[in-house]
Structure 1
Amino acid sequence: MSLAMQLPDLHELAERVMRERGLLPAFAPQALREAEAARVAGPERKGDIRDLRHLEWFSIDNDDTRDLDQLSVAEPLPQGATRLLVAVADVDAMVRPGGAVNEHAETNTTSVYTAAGTFPMLPEVLSTDLTSLHEGQERLAVVVDMQVQADGSVTQAQIYRAAVLNRAKLTYDAVSLWLDGEGPAPHQLAQVPALEEQLRLHDALAERLRQWRHRRGALNVKTVSARPVFEEGRLVDLRPDEKNRAKDLIADLMIAANAATARFLVDQGFPSLRRFLQSPRRWDRIEALAAEHGVTLPDAPDPVALDRFLCERRRADPEGFADLSLRVVKMLGPGEYAAAPPGAAGEGHFGLAVSDYAHSTAPNRRYPDLVTQRLLKAALAGDAPPYSFEALAAVARHCTLQEDNANRVERQVLKAAAAWLLRDRIGESFDAIVTGAAAKGTFVRIARPLLEGRLVRGHEGADVGDALRVRLLSVDPQQGFIDFERA
C-alpha cells in the first residue's frame, strides 16, 4: 500500500471512529449557515465594554494555529508587583445557546486533533476567523485583570468585558529560542514598540507564578506528545512535541487566569464548572517508583514531597526525566470536570496545587470554557446564572466522557499512522513504559517513534508506570493495531 493512499484512509478512519465514540465529525448544514450568518450580524455588544485596544496585547501560540483564544499584556507596579491582563476571546458573543452551532459544540465538547487533521468544535468561519484574536483585528474579549505580588501570589483580580487588538502573533518556538539566547529576536519586536519589554516582563512574571505554585506542591513534570511530521504532504515520522520556555510561560499565565476565574464565580455566589485532579489512588506505586531512586515519600499523598523528588530527578537525569514524568502522570490519572454549588469552592487540582480551578481560557476549542464564559458574563451583567448546579453537573459528566472519547480517537488515528511507519521494523526491540493495564489489555509507549501499542505477550504482572523492554510483533495500519511482546 503506498503512502499516498494512507492519508485519505486516515481521515476516513478518524471520521468512523469519531462516530463510534459519539462524536460528530462534520457540522450540520444548519450549523454552517448559522455560523455564516454571524458574519453579517456581528457580535452581540450589550453591556459595559471597555476600550483597551490601545494596550500592547500579543499572543504566543503554535506556528500554524489560527484559533487564537487569548492575549496578554503586563504592567510593572511598585514593590515588585505586576499587573497582568489576560484577554479571552468572547466566543459567547457569536455562539448563542440553543443554536445549531452550540448544539454541535455541546455534543463534541472539544476540538479533536488527529494525524488526519483537526475536527474543530466550532465552524472555522468562527473559530479561525470571527472569534479568533487575530493580529491586527479588533475583537471582543473577557478580560481577567490580576495583581501579582513579588512572591508570585495573585492578591487581587477583577473581570470585565473589553474591546482588544492583537499587536503581534508570536510563536512558541521563536520566542523560546530567543529567550534562551539560542535564536534571533522575533521580527515583530522591531515593529511593535515595547514588545521586547513585554516579553521580558512576561517571562519573569511566569517564573514567579510557577515558583509560587511549586512551593505549594505543583508538580514539575515534563510531558511529551507525538507530533506527525509531513514532508511534501507525506507522513515521514512521529516526533516528540516537547514543552519549551514559551509554552511554559503561557501555561503559567493561563493557570493564574483560570484560578482567578473560579474564585470570581465563588465570590459572586454562582455555581461553576471546575477542572480537578484528585489525590492519586495509586500513591503506593508512586512511592515504589521513588524508592527505586533511593527516595522515601510520605505514606499519604504529598504533592510537595513528590515535586521535590521530581526536581531532584530532573537535575540528576535530564535525559530520562520525560520517561519518569510519563510514569508519574499515568499513576496520577486523568483530570475531570465537576460542578461546584453556588458560592462553594470546588475540588482541588493535585497536579497544579490550585484549590479553585475552572477552565476558561480556550472557548474556541473547549466547551467547558464557553460555559464558564457565559457564567462570567451573566455575573457581570447582574443576571441570574444561565446554568443551574444540576445542569452544570450534567455538563461536567458529559465533558469528561467526551474528552476521553476524543483522546481515544486521537490515539487510534495516531496508531494507524504509526503502524504504517513501523511496517518494516517487525522484530526490533524498544524501551517502553506501561501506560495502561486493565482487563481490556496492557498498553506500552515507545519513544522513537513516539507511539503506543498493546503488549500481547509477557504482560503478566506489568503495571502502569513500569519500564520494560519490548519487541515489535506485528502492525495493522488499517485497524491501527501495534502489537508488542516483552523482550
Structure 2
Amino acid sequence: MPQIPSRQEILDWLSEHPGASSKRDIAKAFGIKGPQKVELKRILKQMEDEGLLAKRRRSYHDAAGLPPVTVLQILRADSQGDLWARAPEWSGEGDEPVVLMVTKSSDPALGEGDRVLARLTAVEGRGYDYEGRLIRKIGQAAHRVVGIFRKSAEGGRIQPIDKGADKEWQVSAGDTLDAKDGELVEAEQSGPKGRMGLPRARVIERLGDPSAPRAVSLIAIHQHGIPDDFPDEVIAEADAAVPATLDGREDLTELPFVTIDPADARDRDDACLAMPDDDPKNEGGHILWVAIADVAHYVTPGSALDREARKRGNSTYFPDRVVPMLPDRLSGDLCSLHEHVPRAVLAVRMKIDSFGNKIGHRFTRGMINSVASLEYKQVQAARDGAPDAKTEPLLEEVIGPIYACYEALLRARAKRQPLELDLPERQIVIGEDGKVASVNFKDRLDAHKLIEEFMVLANVAAAEELERLRKPLLYRVHEEPSPEKIEALREVAQASGFTLAKGQVLKTQHLNNLLAQSEGSEFDELLNISTLRSMTQAYYHPQNYGHFGLALRSYAHFTSPIRRYSDLIVHRALIAGHGWGKDGLSAAEVEMLEETAQHISETERRSMLAERDTTDRYLAAYLSERVGAEFRGRISGVQKFGAFVKLDETGADGLIPIREIGREFFHFDREAQQLIGADTGLTIGIGQRVLVRLAEAVPMTGGLMLELLEIEGAAMPSGRRGGKKPGMRVPRKPGAARSKERAKARKVKRTRRK
C-alpha cells in the first residue's frame, strides 16, 4: 500500500507541478486511494492551518508564493512601457510579489485598475517574482468606489454617489486615511463582506469637500478612472520640446489660413482656407485647404508622451475643466495654431468641382502662419453683414470664399444623404463661484456646419490616401442598425402616422425621408430621438466596415490629433506612407493596431459616460432650488421601474418611479417600450408630452425624481377595477397592435408544443 507523502514531499511536488494542484491531483500523483484519502485530506488541512499551504477553491499552492492561476490587478505602466500587476488577495508573509505582465498582440487592451485572470510563471534574478500571461479580462476597476465618508466609532462607512447604488461600504479604523465625516473619498475593496453584511473597503484618496467648486467633474474623473495627472517624465518631455522648423516642410506661410472655433476653445488644431479654382477644366470649382497641427512631430512612437497619450486615448471635456490627452505645453502652445505664429502642420489641398464633389487631393507636411483666430459667431455675423474690426478685412479674401465652397459642398451632401438628425445640444455655463449660472441650447450656425463639412472631407481624403498608399490605418466605423432596432423605429413611425420604407436595403436616405415627414409636427422630436436610439455606436478598427451615418465608404479621423489618439495614428501612417520622416507609424504600432483600436474605443466611451454624469449632476444642482416646480417635457425612455422624461427647459432627464404613476398596476411591454395600466388601459410610451412636478433633485448623484401630473394634456386617471374610466382619453399606443400580434403568436406556438 502506498505511503502517505510527507509535508515536504507535498510541497516539492506542488512546486514541480504548478498546473495540477487539486486534492485529486495530489492523491493520484502519490497513488493514494480509498480510506487513505481521508488521511491526505487531514494533512492538507493541517498544512493550510499552519500557513504552509494556501487553498483557493479546490486547489492548493505553496503559501510562500502565488498560485499558478490567480486574479491580478493591473498597475500603471512604467517609463519603459512595461505593464505591472499585483495580487490583491495576497496574504503571505514578506514583501508582496511583483508580477510583470507579458502581453500578446491578440490580448485586449489593459489599463490601470483592470482585474484579470492570469497564468503565472515564477522567475529568479530579474528584479520581479513572476511573469503573468492573460487568460481573460474580468473587469475594469470594478473594485473602486467614490462616495461620501461617514465616520463611526469602528472606522466608518462610504455612501456611493452612483445613481441607484444603495449599498454602503464598511471601512475599518485603520483604513480611513484620516478622512473627515462628510468628505468625498475614493476607496477600493479590501475584502469580502464584513459582519454587517457590507463589503469592506480602504480609503485610497481623500477628494475634499463634495460641495466645493469643480468637485462635480472631480467626482466623474475618479469615478470613471480617467487619468488627470501627468507623470513627471511626461511633463519633462513636453517642456523640453522646441518649435518645429521649416526644414523638410512645404512653406505655406503666405496662404491666408484662419482658425474658426468656439469662444471658449481650449486648443486650435485645425485651420482652413478656400479659393476659386483657376483651372479652366474645373469651371466654378474651388480649392479647399485643411491644415492640421503636426502633433506627430512632438509625440513620437514609444516616447513617454506617446505612452501617456495612448493610455488616455482622448481628451475629456467637462463644463468647468478639460482633462487633456497632451500636456498644456503641446495642446495649448506648440500644437495649437495660434494667429501670427508659424506652426507645423499636415495639410491637404482638395480640388472641388462646382457640384461639391472632391475630384482630387494632395497631402503635404508643411508650415503655416494663421492670419486670424476667429470665433463661430464672429464669422457668422461677418457673413450676415455685421463684420467687426477683425473680420472686415477678411471678408473678400477669406470669409466669402469659404462660404462659397461650403455652398458647393452642400449640393454633394444633399446627393449623398448623410443622416440629418435635429437634436439641440445643451450648454452648461459655470459661474465664477463654480455653480451653474445658466443652461442654454447651442446655436447651429452655418459657420459651425461649414467647418464640420470641411473636416469630414479632409477625413475622407486621409482614408482614401492611405488606401491608395496601401498603408494600415484606423478607420472610424459606424455600422448600420440592427433589423430589430429598425423594426422598433418603424412601429413608432407607423403609430405616429408616418412611413418608414420596408423590404429594401436600409439607407440613410430612408431615415431622412422619415425625419422630413415629421418635421414641424408634434412628433418631430419623438422621431429624432427614436432614430438616434436605433443607431449603433461608432468605434475604431483597422478593418473598413464603412460609416453608415455619414453615408461614406471610407472614413478615418485625421483632423483632431491634439485630443484624439486615433488621429495621431492616421498622421503617423501618412508620414510613413510619404516618407516624410522617421516619426511615422512603426512596425510595433502596426502589430498592435487592433488592440489600440479597442482601447481607444473604450476610452472614448469612458469619457462620454463621465461627461454625461457630470452634466446630470450639474443640472440636478441647478434644479435643486426649484423642487416643487412644474415642467413640461416628453417621455424619453420606459423601463419596468418607471418612465424617463426629458424636460423642455433644460434638457435634463428625470425619472417617474412606477409607484408614483397612478394607483393601479402597470404592465411593462419591453418590445413596444410601453407601460400599460391594468385597470384604465392608460398607455405610457416614448415621445408622449407630459406635465411633471419636480419632487427631488440630488446633486451628488445627478438624480431627478418627478411626479406625473398630465399626459398628452389629460390629467392622470384614478386606477380602478373594471376597465377605463368613462370619458377618459387614452393616448396613442405606438406598436400596441404589433404587440398583440406577437402575444398571439407566442400563445399559438406554446399550444402547438403541447
Question: What is the TM-score normalised by the length of structure 1?
Answer: 0.88
Equivalent position SS for 1:297: coil
- Once the two structures are TM-superposed, the CA of residue 454 in structure 1 deviates from its matched residue by 4.1
Aligned to 1:105: 309
Aligned to 2:491: 288
- Quickly say closer, same or farther: Cα 1:218–1:465, change in 2 above 3 A: farther
Q: Percent identity at matched positions?
A: 27
Say whether 1:154 aligns with 2:354. Answer: no
Mapped contact 1:239–1:450 kept (Cα < 8 A): no
- Once the two structures are TM-superposed, the CA of residue 287 in structure 1 deviates from its matched residue by 2.0
Q: Of residues 577, 587, 598 in structure 2, which corresponds to 1:379? A: 577
Mapped contact 1:415–1:480 kept (Cα < 8 A): yes
Aligned to 1:174: 378
Mapped contact 1:219–1:351 kept (Cα < 8 A): yes
Mapped contact 1:213–1:352 kept (Cα < 8 A): no
Mapped contact 1:330–1:435 kept (Cα < 8 A): no
Aligned to 1:472: 694
- Once the two structures are TM-superposed, the CA of residue 413 in structure 1 deviates from its matched residue by 1.3
- Quickly say closer, same or farther: Cα 1:244–1:37, change in 2 above 3 A: same
Q: Of residues 382, 387, 405 in structure 2, which corresponds to 1:205? A: 405
Gaps of 5+ in 1: 341-345
Alignment of 1:272-287 (within 5 A): 272-281=473-482, 282-287=485-490
Aligned to 1:223: 423
Cα shift readout 1:59-109 (whole Å, capped 9, x = no counterpart): 111012131011111121241111111000001111222222222221221
Query: In terms of mean alpha carbon deviation, does 325-334 or 406-415 score higher?
Result: 325-334
CA distance in 1, matches of 2:571, 2:210: 37
- Once the two structures are TM-superposed, the CA of residue 172 in structure 1 deviates from its matched residue by 0.8
Aligned to 1:423: 624
Cα shift readout 1:327-364 (whole Å, capped 9, x = no counterpart): 32232243221212xxxxx1221111111010110111
- Quickly say closer, same or farther: Cα 1:125–1:75, change in 2 above 3 A: same
Equivalent position SS for 1:413: helix
Aligned to 1:343: none
Q: Of residues 545, 548, 552 in structure 2, which corresponds to 1:347? A: 545
Say whether 1:60 aligns with 2:263. Answer: no
Say whether 1:481 aligns with 2:684. Answer: no
Mapped contact 1:217–1:305 kept (Cα < 8 A): no
- Once the two structures are TM-superposed, the CA of residue 148 in structure 1 deviates from its matched residue by 1.0
CA distance in 2, matches of 1:61, 1:268: 32
CA distance in 1, matches of 2:579, 2:640: 51
Equivalent position SS for 1:86: strand
Cα shift readout 1:31-85 (whole Å, capped 9, x = no counterpart): 22221111xx333766x41001001101111012131011111121241111111
- Once the two structures are TM-superposed, the CA of residue 174 in structure 1 deviates from its matched residue by 1.9
Aligned residues: 470
Equivalent position SS for 2:696: strand
- Once the two structures are TM-superposed, the CA of residue 140 in structure 1 deviates from its matched residue by 0.6
- AA of the residue aligned to 1:479: T
- Quickly say closer, same or farther: Cα 1:322–1:368, change in 2 above 3 A: farther
Aligned to 2:535: 332
Mapped contact 1:139–1:164 kept (Cα < 8 A): yes
- AA of the residue aligned to 2:320: A
Mapped contact 1:148–1:154 kept (Cα < 8 A): yes
Equivalent position SS for 1:158: strand
Alignment of 1:404-423 (within 5 A): 404-423=605-624
Aligned to 2:147: none
Q: Of residues 651, 666, 682 in structure 2, which corresponds to 1:450? A: 651
- AA of the residue aligned to 2:307: E
Alignment of 1:398-409 (within 5 A): 398-409=599-610
- Quickly say closer, same or farther: Cα 1:438–1:332, change in 2 above 3 A: farther
Cα shift readout 1:444-484 (whole Å, capped 9, x = no counterpart): 43231122344543694447964452543322112222233
Aligned to 2:173: none
- Quickly say closer, same or farther: Cα 1:32–1:112, change in 2 above 3 A: same
CA distance in 2, matches of 1:297, 1:474: 39
- AA of the residue aligned to 2:476: R
Mapped contact 2:575–2:585 kept (Cα < 8 A): no
- Quickly say closer, same or farther: Cα 1:269–1:309, change in 2 above 3 A: same
CA distance in 2, matches of 1:441, 1:393: 40
**Which structure has the larger Rg?**
2
- Quickly say closer, same or farther: Cα 1:252–1:161, change in 2 above 3 A: same
Question: What is the TM-score normalised by the length of structure 2?
Answer: 0.58
Equivalent position SS for 1:424: helix
CA distance in 1, matches of 2:636, 2:307: 34
Mapped contact 2:220–2:611 kept (Cα < 8 A): no
Equivalent position SS for 1:255: helix
Say whether 1:251 aligns with 2:455. Answer: no
Cα shift readout 1:239-276 (whole Å, capped 9, x = no counterpart): 11232211001000000000010000111111111112
CA distance in 1, matches of 2:331, 2:261: 15
Alpha-carbon RMSD across the aligned residues, in angstroms, is 2.9
Q: Of residues 14, 39, 51 in structure 1, which corresponds to 2:251? A: 51
Mapped contact 2:244–2:343 kept (Cα < 8 A): no
Mapped contact 2:246–2:366 kept (Cα < 8 A): no
CA distance in 2, matches of 1:232, 1:44: 40
CA distance in 2, matches of 1:155, 1:58: 24
Aligned to 1:14: 217
- AA of the residue aligned to 2:220: V
Determine which structure has greater relative contact order: mean sequence separation of CA pairs < 8 Å that are 6+ residues apart, divided by chain length: 1
Aligned to 2:730: none
- Once the two structures are TM-superposed, the CA of residue 430 in structure 1 deviates from its matched residue by 3.7
Alignment of 1:299-314 (within 5 A): 299=502, 300-314=505-519
Cα shift readout 1:180-214 (whole Å, capped 9, x = no counterpart): 45xx114323344xx43422221232233233133
Equivalent position SS for 2:592: helix
Gaps of 5+ in 2: 1-181, 183-207, 675-684, 710-754
